[in-house]
Structure 1
Amino acid sequence: MKYLALLILLAACGSFKPHAPEKQTRVFNVSWSKNLDSEYVSGNLAIGLGAPRIFNDIVYMGSLDGVMTAYDLESGRVLWQHNEKTPLGGPVEFFKDHVAYGGLSGRLFVRHYLTGQLKYAIDLGAPVESAPLYFNDRMIVYLRGHQIVHMDAETGKILWVYKRAVPVTTTLQRTTKPLVLGNKIIVGFADGFVGALSLEEGLLLWETKLVEQSKFIDVDLNPLLVGGVVVTGSPSGELKAVNPDSGALFRSYGVSVAAHPLLKGEQLVLGTNDGEVILMSVGGEILKRVKVSKQPVSAVGWWKDTIIAASFDGYLRAIDPLTLKIVDEFAMGYDYSAVFSDLVINEEYMAIYSSRNRLYLFH
């Protein structure tokens, strides 16, 4: 429940106590950063839920002011930007020579990745708050309002729409990224269920309830294929595994996590609501665990041979995977800053976007 309380706190508070700046250290060396905070309106603190993306030495990031910007990876110099006149809350997706992303107005934009030239834009009818998913010349877009749109990526033609009736009114509105397995799309819903849709028709093939509470039961952890089963869950319940063919519950892992699970080799890397980082075998055995924060861990990644953990106390921490000792820390600028989406990592760089709308590029 700490996770839920902190989300409410983030949405309600109007100011935060700033940290003193941190010196650059061995792991977290800042190449550049950008303040993308929108103009403050009393009583309404804009919380950043999006994430950057890196493609061909370019960093793409949309802002709540509606501006999509392509930055040079090394220098942070603006290569192109467009004001789409709608808050941009989700990351971009790449296909061929294009980037696709949506806004809270429900409009989806597709632009050339290098020039920013518009290929097409289409209204989907509900806010786009997660990254589209490109697969075999198709695009799958998860909309607020519990709708999934399957469309032709080249033309924007809508092939089918799945809309789910969700009886609960209190949800986190944090949509999961769908997982395509064969002819199925595995996706979590805000009513505590995970389900599978047929790829070609959008028909519901199976559904399994993972959470029994009445509020904040969104299954919004990105589904992950691990040893033939799909691992997903809700921060309000335990992480679980289901059979992707039937939806039958295969295993409960006995931990509650707010961070999207990460598979590294034969181990799961988990960030828990209790501020722990856990290394777990694919069979569910806890191999190592360490408490890194008094607040929940909101995101985990693997970079420079360390585990990277972002937590609600406003810090990034680099953890030695052998000893589980913290080898470096970086303050994201404010108490209760968090990373609600992904830690975006390649071999040399890591990009993050904090809930206080700060974009950081580390080398």
Structure 2
Amino acid sequence: MKKNLTLLFVFSLLSLVLLSSLSCSSLTSISSIKGEQEKKRYFRSLWTKNFDDHPKALEQDTGHFMVAFQSPLLLDQVVFVGTSYNEMMALNAKDGREVWKVNEATAIVNTPTIHQELLIYGTAEGRLIARQVQTGALRYAVDLGDAVESSAAIDKEGRLYVHLRNHKVIALDALSGKILWNYARSITHKTTLQQVSTPLLYKGSIIVGCADGFVVSLTKEEGVVQWERQVSQATKFVDVDMTPVLKGDLLYVASVAGPLTILNPDSGVILRRFDYKVYRAPHFLAADAGMIIGTDEGELLHLDRYGAVVKRAKLSSSMLNISEWADALFVATRDGELYTVDSKEFKLLDQFHFGTKNSLLFGVPSISGKSVALLSSRNRLYLFKTN
């Protein structure tokens, strides 16, 4: 039985699953980087929009606001964002002014994708929608049966793949919306977390994390299972919500309950497990210098290509995700803080607090040049720019 989690329930569950200990058998000692921030601001907020001020939000009498798990898309000085209050809109990135807006009569729950002048996104009621990027004019709308929570992955042949809340993976023609095949996975767990893994394109297959703790490889043409591998070692909250990522010929995946795991993408054979729990994909450094991860205990770790700890620093109580932005690390934490950190020395450059109770970043920042757009869990859209 699948449950949509309320705001309080979401935070309670995620707090529970992130209470395990982190191995401290590293080469360097933990050092806090708080209090070391440079006086000069690294980034500034250009504008903010509060979608919780929407009339639909104010009409609610449930005692809580909708939780935003989706992310905006920043492209060519336009921010595309779907809201929990039924609207998809395009905004001017310079000042936040509306370019176009449509009401879909249901919440937008995934991050939009652009393909050949089409903006493609999904709703809570299971509709996949494609609109013209410039005007918002409708190209097609297809009912898929349940919330379209993953972003669309689109291959060079024009096939589109999405992952639904009911654990189905569906392939469609990206230009027409014609359904090509669907793969349904049987999940026996009574409660799963409210996010899903976006399919990863790899050679002639797609690789996707599932709510039962497995990673599955499907053929692009027909959705036939090529291999499946259990990566979560937990007994509850085993969802593999992290979108799998490739680095060279290695596949990195993780469950919210851990651990970070490396697999062979062709066979699914597990090559290595790390003693760290991570919520998002690692940030890979250039020139084969290793990777940086954020752990569930709020540490930044620089691991070399062999997995040894090069540097570590304590940043918060729990990490959410790490992105590279303008030669620095852009880090979101479960404390509702955003940090920019020097990637070599782990020196704190700047920080920003959402300033609202229970407001944090479940989605991922959308970065374009010196600008970054993000949507907080409390439905605030922010546009930041580096100085």
Q: Give the Cα separation in 2 of the matches to 1:34 and 1:11.
A: 27
Q: CA–CA distance in 2 between the matches of 1:304 and 1:342?
A: 16
In structure 2, what is the equivalent of residue 290 of structure 1? 313
Measure how far apart 1:299 and its partner are: 1.5
CA contact (8 A) 2:74 2:80 kept: yes
Deviation, 1:337, is 2.1
Q: List aligned pairs for 1:156-171, cutoff 5 A.
A: 156-171=177-192
Aligned to 1:45: 65
Q: Aligned match of 1:333 in 342, 355, 359?
A: 355
Return the offset for 1:239: 0.3
* Candidates 47, 71, 76, aligned match of 1:32: 47
Number of aligned pairs? 347
Detail structure 1 runs of 4+ shifted over 6 Å in the superposition.
none
Aligned to 2:297: 274
Tell me by how many angstroms 1:263 deviates.
Answer: 2.2
Which residue does the alignment assign to 1:150?
A: 171
Deviation at 1:154, TM superposition (A): 1.1
2:201 matched to 1:183? no
Q: Unpaired runs of 5+ in structure 1?
A: 13-23
Structure 1 residue 7, shift from structure 2 partner: 7.5
Match of residue 344 from structure 2: 322
TM-superposed deviation, 1:103? 0.2
Q: TM (normalized to structure 2)?
A: 0.86
Report the aligned-residue RMSD.
1.8
C-alpha distance in structure 2 between counterparts of 1:84 and 1:348, whole Å:
32
Distance of 1:280 and 1:8 partners within structure 2? 34
Distance 1:121 1:71 in 2: 22
Q: Distance in 2 between matches of 1:9 and 1:84?
A: 25
Describe the shift of the 1:219–1:116 C-alpha distance in structure 2 as closer, same or farther (beyond 3 A). same
Greater alpha carbon shift after TM alignment, 73-82 vs 213-222 = 213-222
Deviations 1:291-329 (A, max 9, x none): 1002x1112111122111111111101111222121211
Tell me by how many angstroms 1:214 deviates: 2.3
Q: Match of 1:310?
A: 332
2:381 aligns with: 359
Change (3 A) 1:279 1:127: same
Following the alignment from structure 1 to structure 2, what is the Cα–Cα distance between the partners of residues 181 and 282? Answer: 22
User: Counterpart of 1:29 in 2: which secondary structure?
Assistant: strand
Q: What is the CA–CA distance in structure 2 between the aligned matches of 1:335 and 1:306, rounded to whole Å?
A: 27
Q: 1:125 to 1:11 in 2, by over 3 A?
A: farther
Q: Is the 8 A contact 2:153 2:201 kept in 1?
A: no
- The normalised TM-score by structure 1 is 0.91
Aligned residues of 1:227 and 1:282 also touching (Cα < 8 A): no
Q: 1:116 aligns with which of 122, 136, 155?
A: 136
Q: Distance in 1 between matches of 2:280 and 2:357?
A: 18
Superposed displacement of residue 25, structure 1: 6.1
Change (3 A) 1:208 1:9: closer
Q: Does 1:342 align with 2:364?
A: yes
Return the alpha-carbon distance in structure 2 between the equivalents of residues 43 and 201 of structure 1: 45
TM alignment of 1:173-322, pairs within 5 A: 173-265=194-286, 266=288, 267-294=290-317, 296-322=318-344
Distance 1:335 1:185 in 2: 38
Contact 1:279–1:286, Cα closer than 8 Å, also in 2: yes
Q: Which has the higher contact order (CA 8 A, sep 6+)?
A: 2
Superposed displacement of residue 278, structure 1: 1.5
Does residue 70 of structure 1 match 2:71? no
